[in-house]
Amino acid sequence: MVRISNMGIVSLCIVLLLGSEICIAARQELIVTTIKQDPYTMSKGSQLEGYCMDLLAELAKKLGFKYKVHLVKDGAYGRQDESGNWNGMIGEVVRGEADLAVAPLTLTAAREKAVGMTKPYMQTGISILLRKDIVSEEAGFFDFLSPFSGETWFGILIAYFVTAVCICIVGRLSPCEWSQPETEPNHFTLLHSLWYAAGALSLQGAGPHPKAVSGRVISCTWWLFAVVLLACYFSSLSSSQGPDSAPLMIKGFEDLANQDVIEYGTLSGSSTLAFFKNSNNPSYRRIYEHMERRKSFVSSMDEGVQRAKEGNYAFIGESVSLDLAVARHCELVRAHEVIGMRGYSIVTPLGSAMLKNLSVAILQLSEAGELAYLRTKWWASSCIPDSAKGSSLRAHSMKGIFLVLAIGLGIGVLLSLFELTSKSRSTAGEQKKSCCAVLTQELSQRLRMTSTKGDQETSDKNKA
């Protein structure tokens, strides 16, 4: 017994004695209909390429069939007229002119009644496309920290403490700052050094100021670091906020419905428009009534993207198509909210034997990560990440001023040691002692201020 299915597959079926039936399928070339839409199906010379063509090739490899692709004759996806007839790719499959329709065809109840539709190979929904510069993001409590990255703030904190410690050390080592450790108090304690360094960051200063050359070198270097740091901070802060910061904040359809500054619309006669028209959600109904009242529809996807690029217009469409527009046009952004989730499926004739196998193959490709790879391949963005505007300055971009500070601190500490060595050499000549012995004694007195002061107070009490 020979069966010829509507899929172009010839089956040879042998009825055994026990009544069971074995079918040996001899596969012929399948006719596949599609439609041109970037990036699903595009022309490349005499060939077709795109997401759907790659998907079809993977399915053919898994299921072992050959195919021939042609573009749909009337350039339509598939809509049922008043008399119940279908046009577009759905109509070609219904009339037997094609065995498969591989395109971004939305899985709907009406289509499911007329043809077979596989498990969705891609999920989509309805979202909003608009320019980046006409909406503002929600302000955070710590946005004032945004001009610098976390590693930069950490570097600044380390630089602050290291500078304060160096000021404290120089204040102890330099004889010009502390000439008589036995009798004079040290003005540059660690606490005062921290306060002095903090005063420089506020451009106010805090006395007393260093008198020694070593202390002044560190002080000048730290002031230079503070001035450059503050200049970078305020410059980055003002550029990130912008002089004409928009007052609107559109995160979803509720925000869009509650404002009347930005015009919005969708594709005329599309399933997106039907979703808002048939919805019982008050916000969605207001969006539909606004679009119907203002006649803010567009005739094509390209027109909607172009109006969104021109500004003061939000285009409502399918999220995957909007993602492609964002990847191609860097000044656009898609809202995070996605509603009305639906899927794109492959169409077969109603009751087709291949429907189950195609669905299983699609699920296997999804589980293997092939569908995600195809999505990344064909939706690759040509935009450079927006790192200049509103980005955080990183430590490596300010490494020059950190290097200048490190050199200044090193020179200051070395100068203080040179000053102390010069005094020790002069004292050693007067007292006719070894310079190393005098220098060791000076370092011991200056670096053990607390214990020295405590011993002196103890001896004074004993004398009393």
Contact 174, 420 (CB under 8 A): yes
- Number of other CB atoms surrounding residue 222 within 10 Å: 24
The amino acid that residue 423 corresponds to is K
Backbone angles phi, psi at 30, to 5 degrees: -85, 145
Closest among 302, 303, 278 to 288, alpha carbons compared:
278
3-class SS of residue 122: strand
Q: Rounded distance, CA 249 to CA 253, Å?
A: 11
The pair of structure tokens assigned to 15 is: 């009825």
CA–CA separation, 355 and 16 (whole Å): 27
Q: Tell me the residue type at 312.
A: N
Ligand-binding annotation for 106, yes or no, is yes
CB 327, CB 384: distance < 8 Å: no
Query: Which structure tokens are listed for 340?
Result: 């009305």
Q: How far apart are CA 141 and CA 384, in angstroms?
A: 28
Q: DSSP per residue over 284-341, as a string?
A: HHHHHHHHHHHT--BSSHHHHHHHHHHSSEEEEEEHHHHHHHHHH-TTEEE-S--EEE
**Type of residue found at 138:** E
> How far, in Å, CA of 274 to CA of 310, rounded?
26
Lookup: tokens for 235: 């410059």
With b for 16 or more beta-carbon neighbours within 10 A and e for fewer, the 103-139 pattern comes to bbbbbeeebeebbbbbbbbbebbbbbbbbeebbeeee
- Is 271 annotated in a binding site? The answer is yes
Is the backbone peptide bond immediately before 243 cis, with ω within 30 degrees of 0? no
Q: Is 104 marked within a binding site?
A: yes
The strand pair at 29-34 and 100-106 is best described as: parallel
What end-to-end distance do the CA atoms of the chain give, in Å?
A: 128
Spatial CA neighbour of 408 closest among 181, 228, 202, 153: 228
Are 327 and 383 within 8 A, CB to CB? Answer: yes
For residue 448, the SS3 value is coil
**Annotated binding-site positions:** 104, 106, 111, 271-272, 318
**Annotated binding-site positions for L-glutamate:** 104, 106, 111, 271-272, 318
